[in-house]
Amino acid sequence: GENVEQHPSTLSVQEGDSAVIKCTYSDSASNYFPWYKQELGKGPQLIIDIRSNVGEKKDQRIAVTLNKTAKHFSLHITETQPEDSAVYFCAASTGGFKTIFGAGTRLFVKA
């Protein structure tokens, strides 16, 4: 069946460094790719998203890139700060009431 693979499962970086999380999807009909951040004790929060007709999107320190040919998309966080520490989930949606989430990446930003 369709799935989304997410790597790495855990990522530890020094404050100020960049962090990259990568996802691969299997369903070529996927056309919407959101990223969610989940802080301790809270539900996931949508932080950035990209659609299949766009290759890259930026919002301040975060950016997402999409390679439809390779079925890869990535989250890039620059100048990481301790408050970026959280679990990040990628997802792929085909519309038609089907969104599939990756397994999550736990990001630690060391001060």
Whose Cβ is closer to another protein: residue 60's or residue 97's?
97
Using CB under 8 A, pick the residue from 41, 67, 84, 111 that binds another protein: 41
Query: DSSP 3-state helix, strand, coil percentages of the chain (rounded to 5)?
Result: 5, 55, 40
User: Which residues, including other chains, have CB under 8 Å from residue 72's CB and lie 6 or more apart?
Assistant: 22, 23, 24, 66
Using CB under 8 A, pick the residue from 21, 24, 64, 102 that binds another protein: 102
Q: How many residues of this chain bind another protein (CB under 8 A)?
A: 25
Using CB under 8 A, pick the residue from 21, 24, 25, 34 that binds another protein: 34
Separation of alpha carbons 36 and 1, rounded Å: 23
Whose Cβ is closer to another protein: residue 61's or residue 98's?
98
